[in-house]
Structure 1
């Protein structure tokens, strides 16, 4: 069959949420996956699974985790995280630049969307490892990110593919969408290169959810800067900007921060593109607030303790990229080594150890004299105060540039540890201009009839930074919404 109500381009979280939503609303649906079946799932396959949703209280969380027992619940302290809290966090970390209507759609629809995902078979669990601490025999959650998908991105995509199969959604693999077909400014289909054969698929609507341009070195250089050619691609190698190119070719309006992206500090020896045999975001290095971070010349370059990692990791990747050799070194001593996140203990983690700072630094390809001098000056600048990694404790340095404003402990108890990190790009913030229904807008900011978008392709929500877990949630919300409206549009076209 080469005629469908809705064709979804892409096969990650946003794409499959869109496909399932469209199918639930009565449409016949085709999903196009550019990669082979064993590399399906887009960037979503690689996610650690944390997904940010607004919620009222623990009872709301238990609705999507019915297996959570009363005994477990009695041990949990779960602060409310309202839609206003979510919206304010989003606006705070984007310096108020997030487009209000799109941002409000994301946060206001987040909880009902996650309930819907549970109904589709996606299972969730509490994010104990990264978002809780134990105090007075209670487990306290913090940071508005208590929920994650079971089995990370693998479990998320397995559940969504299972649901798509149950609903009879057709999926083509090694099927690259190359061009949108239009007639009198309306979408009528898409040209597909399927395993080397060019096929024209008729469609009443096309929904683009095939990622941004993070895996396209030329586009990274053009839009983000030439230094971004050196960035590691954290996820799928297939997100090369195809959907953006097809949409702009027919007059879609670009939107958002095309010069910005989500990037993180990741192990310096990470694979150059996402390795489907080692998914789950295992190479990230996010305990930097507990230590200090120096470049090869021996200087600190960010305030490691500016905020919880949820609110800084997506912008610090680019700061690492700016450093000589695109490398930095996270330094920890034995005081904090036991409380580092679990990714520091994986066999894939690159670590250098030394019983003394001099022994450690002698093993690093850095300016050793300056490196040791910077650590000495840092230690001397650390102020007294109570150290508490579960809150922004205000334990800071004084007299440095940059200061460390929270969690400043002297690096003085051996053995000492260095973790080399580089920059890994996740997705670009720039995308297409869509409305709250996921309809793609033209240069006059009017909907292009029959064209929808979701996921990374939605521009205007994230600028400079983003609250952890909100990218995955945005994909789900706009996937569900755009799928529903694509199906309704297709039904109206059929009647007319």
Structure 2
């Protein structure tokens, strides 16, 4: 029997395994994926949002607790647990030295991400390098790692973890950390959650999965059915507008279309449906997948002109290019007259001040619904560019309710030996919306808490056994 069983193989799971092992516990980690695909969604990440009161190596200026909290409050619309959110915020300022100790390296932000230089620390080599560093450290410390070991169910008795099943194999452990991700790869569950829309469609049929194909939510569904307290809405998720040509799984960061803020986005009827300039892209990009999901056919089209080229991270695959809007509409499969009318109306509403893509500038629209509140420039300079986008689901927010000990709760009572971290509990902080890098902050902070608490529970069990023996 192992002391701590960690179920999952991404950032949160690895942080939990490392912390437990550093605390002296015997640890086994079960990763559902083959070794080559290890790391789950974490392998696609780039950075962590971190509080800091003064400049720190690759992080400029300061990003203090209250500003960080206001960012969380804004993107979630207040659907967040303030106590746990502030816990993550404060603890995020203390993670990076520990991360470096386990081989993670940081670098200054790249071109196109400069407005994150004050708030986010970027990983040298991206998420894959971070995951590999953690696995190397875990192996060196003696963590038992098993790949291709999806857990089909766990055994719970009176809110206490007993064992996990990998197929027919039963694995007992004194404590367990659940860090197996959300259910974004479970198409049937997504369809059940989203239902049929007003167009008679099942929106989830057209969702692309930005991350791993191994996050099927098997244990999440089982725990909820066993009475574990849950949090958030099954339709809420980190959903991004991604290139409609992206692969079904593991498209990752490179499929994101970042041109949205600098032009307009229309649906298949060539009609705008939201404010493209509401806020900086790192605070807004994860809203756009959900917005597109609510459009007919779950598809949208980002339209820009030549004036804004070079203002955003260019997409990996080129979009459609045309000298006229009529030609562009034809290439995108849109009604040319409808697109021209939409652009004409938008252009007439633009009130151009001093354009500055690095601040919330004064270029806006008047008398237009929906408005565009910043970076509103007329689309009038060819050639014109268009990118078809679909909803890209990174991870779902429905998860297990927890507290500052990371314990799974059953009817309000925290389990003595079952803990949760990462995407399986991120909904406590993220009721909706997203800010770049906060998922890694939640996973790192709660992975560390869960690992520490699991090792502590093992020691408590040993002390009780020794006391009973005397």
TM-score by length of 2: 0.94
Which residue matches 1:56? 53
Aligned-partner Cα distance in 1 for 2:424–2:225 = 15
Does the 8 A contact of 2:79 with 2:432 survive in 1? no
The root-mean-square deviation of aligned C-alpha atoms, in Å, is 1.6
Which residue matches 2:293? 321
State the shift of 1:404 in Å. Answer: 0.7
State the shift of 1:213 in Å. Answer: 0.6
Q: Are 1:425 and 2:409 counterparts?
A: no
* 1:333/1:291 CA distance change after superposition, 3 Å: same
Does the 8 A contact of 1:269 with 1:350 survive in 2? no
State the shift of 1:394 in Å. Answer: 2.2
Aligned length: 457
Which residue matches 2:402? 434
Aligned-partner Cα distance in 2 for 1:81–1:263 = 25
Which residue matches 1:223? 193
Does the 8 A contact of 1:218 with 1:229 survive in 2? no
**Other structure's SS at 2:254 match:** coil
Which segments of 5 or more consecutive residues in structure 2 lack a partner in the other structure? 196-201, 465-470
Which residue matches 1:393? 361
Which residue matches 1:84? 66
Q: Are 1:243 and 2:241 counterparts?
A: no
Which residue matches 2:467? none
State the shift of 1:18 in Å. Answer: 0.7
Deviation string 1:414-456 (CA, Å, 9 cap, x unpaired) is 111111111100111120011111111111x111221000000
Aligned-partner Cα distance in 2 for 1:11–1:479 = 11
State the shift of 1:249 in Å. Answer: 4.1
Aligned-partner Cα distance in 2 for 1:477–1:283 = 28
1:152-167 → structure 2 map (5 Å cutoff): 152-167=126-141
Does the 8 A contact of 1:131 with 1:146 survive in 2? no
Q: Are 1:454 and 2:450 counterparts?
A: no
1:25-424 → structure 2 map (5 Å cutoff): 25-47=23-45, 49-58=46-55, 61-62=56-57, 78-132=60-114, 141=115, 144-193=118-167, 198-225=168-195, 226-274=202-250, 281-342=253-314, 344=315, 346=316, 349-424=317-392
Moved more, 395-404 or 318-327: 318-327
State the shift of 1:494 in Å. Answer: 2.2
* 1:354/1:43 CA distance change after superposition, 3 Å: same
Aligned-partner Cα distance in 2 for 1:53–1:293 = 31
**Other structure's SS at 1:425 match:** strand
**Other structure's SS at 2:183 match:** coil
* 1:143/1:294 CA distance change after superposition, 3 Å: farther
Aligned-partner Cα distance in 2 for 1:301–1:11 = 38
* 1:228/1:323 CA distance change after superposition, 3 Å: same
Aligned-partner Cα distance in 2 for 1:307–1:27 = 45
Aligned-partner Cα distance in 2 for 1:128–1:19 = 31
Does the 8 A contact of 1:52 with 1:144 survive in 2? no
Does the 8 A contact of 2:108 with 2:117 survive in 1? no
Deviation string 1:337-393 (CA, Å, 9 cap, x unpaired) is 122313x2x2xx141111122222222211221111101111111113111111000
Which segments of 5 or more consecutive residues in structure 1 lack a partner in the other structure? 66-75, 133-140
Aligned-partner Cα distance in 2 for 1:186–1:309 = 43
Aligned-partner Cα distance in 1 for 2:300–2:269 = 9
Which residue matches 1:73? none
**Other structure's SS at 2:310 match:** helix
* 1:184/1:264 CA distance change after superposition, 3 Å: closer
Aligned-partner Cα distance in 2 for 1:165–1:176 = 20
Deviation string 1:155-185 (CA, Å, 9 cap, x unpaired) is 1111111111111111111111122223454
Aligned-partner Cα distance in 1 for 2:98–2:123 = 14
Aligned-partner Cα distance in 1 for 2:347–2:191 = 39
Aligned-partner Cα distance in 1 for 2:152–2:328 = 52
* 1:183/1:260 CA distance change after superposition, 3 Å: closer
